[in-house]
Structure 1
């Protein structure tokens, strides 16, 4: 894709969207051609001349011969790649391995990363920026306040660098070239992004962001959680930040030499700016920091981040910080394995965002999913054995209103790879589908015949937290655990709350959460007492920050972190139970 302007990139996308079915067949053919002869594919297509076969015939042959797989099926090949072997999954040079966050399934997974991965990242960023600029035009000389964090790379046995996908991109030549060539770019230098200490990086992101306050065009991070977490820290940091702005200094709390040098090279004393920031913060404190972002960055056009799926619980707090006039724009849909879709409608509320599939990034298939039975709770979905599956269909054959699991074939060597994401087709743009993200298919809460996903938990917590509103309290974060050490097993939900709430209200919340799980297996199990009363644990303020620091200490980055909604990690469970201050149990199930 050769696109030098926003209009060029949109014109390119409109062309591939119009011919999405044909583009998909050509994309699959290209993937199979560039990876022809790799060990994995020799098992299935050894006798096939992929270079001379018609694209449509090759597509038909491919899906008939190559099996659907999960990450576990490809893991032995990826492990051999980590140990130094080549031409196992892809012929493209694998210089690095990406690590998933590990917060969804409790452990990090290796995913092959090539130059193609960085290029597609740059492509989708250009495409998304082109659509955003049509609605929210920004100045060329402006700045972006980005809360982004790179982690340290480490080497595998075979000498490959391993790290998070975001780290690879921030360290890539594509990103560095963008830094050099684009006037409107991040406030923070590489030393701040790669400090390795998220607290010191966050402080410096804020200091540089405030120093460039009039130039800041928008605020962004990979996940909504990162922005919310950073702004919570700002509530503690602001006085120190004002002192540094006033004097052109850097707090002694920032101890890393590289980060100190890079920041002090930029900032200068600005007494007027420091006084103005201080006066704004004094006012903001009185309203619990409502509208903090537009107050301190008055020329910002929007806040931009991934706000779907597990990020939805942070939307209310982000809206609070953004106030009533600053739009929230949901970022694009992708995974460590591949980018999938672009947000063509930046004006759409994050809760309603639809992602338009980019048909050149991977070859996409969709497994039609049908619930075995309907749930009583409108909008609730379940996973695992609750779904009946049909044969996968290509992108051009999906139907509006149908739910699907996404299957990927990528340039980086994943073949008919089940992503585990459940989406619903909301419509089409020309010939390519527009998707609503529903949930991760993986079950997170199950004891016997009950089956509840992350979405089910979110809906239950959302309903159960309604009594907090009258107390003017805020649910900061939550997670869960299926406790089976004693019989009958039961669900444990952990809440961190900001504000004072009496025990009667919390007991009511506990009862409401239990009643909100509409899964048929859970309802039956609660009625016959094969699952015990739900337990609600209230933890000390800062407990979820300790869990985040545990994951970051084990290789995740702040840019990539997502609070795990079901805790199985023994260390995290120990943190939660150690800092639990109140426990409530629901009443008998009716």
Structure 2
């Protein structure tokens, strides 16, 4: 690395140390900056009367949900002035993933959001480079995507956060250093057709396979989707490489021109090598087999993404899996300062410069509702974050439940526990997404004896029966061939049902042991490709293809209908539970 790069790196490391050491002062400054800017907006003026006083803010400004602020956002989208909520111009809108069964939420953004996103891209890479050597000499095969932008009646664009960023000058004018070096040219990322983008990402990555030092995607589920896509298209990719000609269905002009340059002349030797690897009976370890210099995988594997970790480990030979940052459409939160920790131990160090953070204590019992500042959270306690950002959200309830796990200098570190609003219930019990993930993880141990992998799952509370019962839809895949029909062992799947139930919380088990309260849990095995069909449905309803996450608890009757049509086999618990 050059002396100049060393100096830049040293300066960046000092910035991180300063940010995490001076948390209270920076948080106070951020709030003062936001209130000074926005105190006279229509939204805040009625609470603050033009003041930027912190205590008045805490006393008068209410804690809100999306439904509380939606009328103001709708007015902005329909053309009213930014000063309804923001002293700075609103330059666009960010769309949530839209995969929870409800319409996508839309959040206003200023350029400050894109500045913060650039910051987190840079600094999470800096942290990783401190733990893994030699990254500056390679490239990342990263599955970045853009989806088509919508335009609101006001004329402003609305899109997923990553799309907004990749189309901005903040990305276009990024610094030239290793963590911004991708195997794919920008034209591939900017292509609006996700299938063309995915194919070209894989082709460019394979052509440059000996330069790839990291493989990445926003979420583990997207990375697994890329592997399944490769299983379907590797022969065509090999043909492209063998003859030096890109498939005709890649019709995006800019994408086609840039990828054709990377593809270059015919390369039958490389085509033979890839063909030999992909033709083997098992795809176990396919990532390091195709990209032998890969040092790690960078992809979010916390929360509901944790269910995909065993499958990714099968394909990657357990390469280090780094969940590098915690971000949302509302704000950036933090960086994983211990990137090589095990996925289950991931915590995010909150950066105090992104937004003003407060925390609502969860499970406070009969005590008065307690809201504390970032510097006042307590180790081991569970909180729901409240966000005040530069784009017009004030004391906004995120819905995420986090646990304080430690401190980096003076900056608290949080473990993502669960989404606060995702639950199942057929009686008086409450089963969270975290409960379900834990239970399914235990059942996967039973599956290992049958050479089957759980590729995806969802659940719902079926109250059409009496008593009602939990239904889990499982999509399975054989490790060594594509036909699972002969490998569905009734004994194994029934045992999986039992293990899931035994692993749920005591309230569930108690009701389940009472006759007539909750019926036996059911696993419905669906045909391969079923969850792709569900994804396509949600995307057709406006969900983002680049942010898509299979809902753990599914609410959409249409999506349930798609799965029901593809049910291959049904299994029920056949044993009594311990209460």
TM-score range, shorter chain: over 0.9
Comparing 256-265 and 240-249, the one that deviates more: 256-265
Residue by residue, what CA displacement relative to the aligned partner does 1:93-152 show, whole Å, maximum 9, x if unpaired?
A: 212111100113532100112211111011011111111111123454532211111110
Q: Secondary structure at the match of 1:405?
A: strand
Query: Does 1:445 find its partner at 2:445?
Result: no
Which residue number corresponds to residue 267 of structure 1?
263
CA contact (8 A) 1:451 1:522 kept: no
Which residue number corresponds to residue 381 of structure 1?
none
Q: Residue 27 of structure 1 is aligned with which of 12, 26, 30?
A: 30
Q: Secondary structure at the match of 1:498?
A: strand
**Aligned CA distance change for structure 1 residues 312 and 521 (closer, same or farther; 3 Å):** closer
Q: Residue 345 of structure 1 is aligned with which of 322, 329, 338?
A: 338
**Aligned CA distance change for structure 1 residues 142 and 309 (closer, same or farther; 3 Å):** same
Q: 1:423 deviation in Å? A: 1.0
Q: Residue 422 of structure 1 is aligned with which of 398, 401, 425?
A: 401
Comparing 393-402 and 444-453, the one that deviates more: 444-453
**Correspondences of 1:427-438 after superposition (within 5 Å):** 427-438=406-417
CA contact (8 A) 1:330 1:353 kept: yes
Q: 1:314 deviation in Å? A: 0.8
Comparing 548-557 and 389-398, the one that deviates more: 548-557
Residue by residue, what CA displacement relative to the aligned partner does 1:510-540 show, whole Å, maximum 9, x if unpaired?
A: 2322332215156326514233222221100
Comparing 184-193 and 212-221, the one that deviates more: 184-193
TM-score, normalised on structure 1? 0.90
Equivalents in 2 of 1:483, 1:510: separation in Å? 15
Which residue number corresponds to residue 301 of structure 1?
295
Q: Secondary structure at the match of 2:555?
A: coil
Residue by residue, what CA displacement relative to the aligned partner does 1:133-188 show, whole Å, maximum 9, x if unpaired?
A: 11123454532211111110111122221111111111111011128787952222
Q: 1:313 deviation in Å? A: 0.7
Equivalents in 1 of 2:332, 2:367: separation in Å? 27
**Correspondences of 1:32-181 after superposition (within 5 Å):** 32-48=35-51, 50=52, 58-86=53-81, 87-140=83-136, 142-178=138-174
Q: Secondary structure at the match of 1:370?
A: coil
Equivalents in 1 of 2:432, 2:469: separation in Å? 16
CA contact (8 A) 2:146 2:194 kept: no
Query: Does 1:369 find its partner at 2:365?
Result: no
CA contact (8 A) 1:527 1:589 kept: no
CA contact (8 A) 1:443 1:451 kept: no
Q: 1:454 deviation in Å? A: 0.8
Which residue number corresponds to residue 278 of structure 1?
275
Q: 1:547 deviation in Å? A: 1.1
Comparing 204-213 and 289-298, the one that deviates more: 289-298
CA contact (8 A) 2:89 2:110 kept: yes
Q: 1:254 deviation in Å? A: 3.1
CA contact (8 A) 1:332 1:343 kept: yes
**Aligned CA distance change for structure 1 residues 230 and 438 (closer, same or farther; 3 Å):** same
Which residue number corresponds to residue 352 of structure 2?
359
Q: 1:203 deviation in Å? A: 1.2
Q: Residue 400 of structure 1 is aligned with which of 359, 372, 379?
A: 379
Residue by residue, what CA displacement relative to the aligned partner does 1:407-464 show, whole Å, maximum 9, x if unpaired?
A: 1111111101111111111111111101111111113212332211110111121223
Q: Secondary structure at the match of 1:112?
A: strand
CA contact (8 A) 2:453 2:476 kept: yes
CA contact (8 A) 2:217 2:298 kept: yes
Which residue number corresponds to residue 481 of structure 2?
none
Residue by residue, what CA displacement relative to the aligned partner does 1:46-90 show, whole Å, maximum 9, x if unpaired?
A: 152x2xxxxxxx222211111111111111111111111121221
**Aligned CA distance change for structure 1 residues 179 and 228 (closer, same or farther; 3 Å):** farther
TM-score, normalised on structure 2? 0.92
Q: Residue 20 of structure 2 is aligned with which of 17, 20, 28?
A: 17
Equivalents in 2 of 1:16, 1:533: separation in Å? 52
**Correspondences of 1:230-241 after superposition (within 5 Å):** 230-241=226-237
Comparing 68-77 and 229-238, the one that deviates more: 229-238
CA contact (8 A) 2:129 2:135 kept: no
Q: Secondary structure at the match of 1:464?
A: helix
Unaligned runs of 5+ residues in structure 2 are 1-5, 479-486
CA contact (8 A) 2:139 2:178 kept: no
CA contact (8 A) 2:350 2:411 kept: yes
Which residue number corresponds to residue 572 of structure 1?
559
Q: 1:371 deviation in Å? A: 7.1
Equivalents in 1 of 2:488, 2:509: separation in Å? 28
Equivalents in 2 of 1:96, 1:296: separation in Å? 40
Query: Does 1:537 find its partner at 2:533?
Result: no
Equivalents in 1 of 2:29, 2:175: separation in Å? 33
Q: How many residues align?
A: 562
Equivalents in 2 of 1:320, 1:399: separation in Å? 38
Comparing 446-455 and 472-481, the one that deviates more: 446-455
CA contact (8 A) 2:94 2:160 kept: yes
Equivalents in 1 of 2:418, 2:226: separation in Å? 26
Unaligned runs of 5+ residues in structure 1 are 51-57, 373-386
CA contact (8 A) 2:100 2:555 kept: no
Residue by residue, what CA displacement relative to the aligned partner does 1:175-219 show, whole Å, maximum 9, x if unpaired?
A: 111287879522223432233332222111010111122222211
Which residue number corresponds to residue 196 of structure 2?
200
Which residue number corresponds to residue 311 of structure 1?
305
